Amino acid sequence: MQHQSGAPLPSPPARVETSRLVLRPWTPAEAPLLKSAVDISVDHLRPWMPWAANAPFSIAETEEHVARLSTAFHAGDDFAYGVLSADESEVVGGSGLHPRIGRGGLEIGYWIRVDLTRRGYATEVARALTEAGLAVAGVDRVEIHCDPNNTPSRRIPERLGYRLVETRRADKFTPAGDPRDTLVFRISNGAQPPLTRKNAS
């Protein structure tokens, strides 16, 4: 894993398991399942996810996307995880640990298939990747960035013990082209660990 500056750091684990989910790099077999998950979630994702602005994608585009994500993961450049059911037969969503916030930091992103929202999956994913990210040698902080208007998303870092450290004014644009703020939540090594699974909602 090469941060924006400095020497490479070890990569996060290629497989993370929770009580209900498996997080691992995408494989070609998931491309049809991923396309289906995105297709049914387009209206749900489009207000918040810039990449969803151009969805739905063809199966060929999805296969190419999966291949790029897998290559980047195994090269240590970026770490996108498929969020799968425990038996790995169903795509629940997607997530990632992204080394794009400077040396010693990883940023978590996540989305959940629309028909599986409000079941605690995003919190479960963020908790697991927070623990995995902070366990990587040389990583001193993990961040979650979100739109202030995305209330369900902003509740996740708050629930997991992250601190709101910055509000970046009009630093991004909505998919509709309007300027929007970004909330920056951070948890640092040595801080209170994320909530235990049995206590989280």
At 178 the pLDDT is: 87
**pLDDT tops 60 at residue 3:** no
Among 28, 85, 31, CA closest to 57: 31
Rounded mean pLDDT, 80-104: 97
pLDDT higher than 90, residue 200: no
User: Where is 156: in which H helix or E strand?
Assistant: helix 151-159
pLDDT tens string 53-71: 888 999 999 999 999 999 9
User: Which among 163, 201, 155 is positioned nearest to 184, based on CA atoms?
Assistant: 163
pLDDT, averaged across the chain: 91
Q: What are 155-198's pLDDT values in tens digits?
A: 999 999 999 999 999 998 887 788 999 999 999 987 665 654 43
Q: pLDDT at residue 7 above 90?
A: no
* pLDDT score for 31: 97
User: Smallest Cα–Cα separation from 21: which of 84, 82, 115, 94?
Assistant: 84
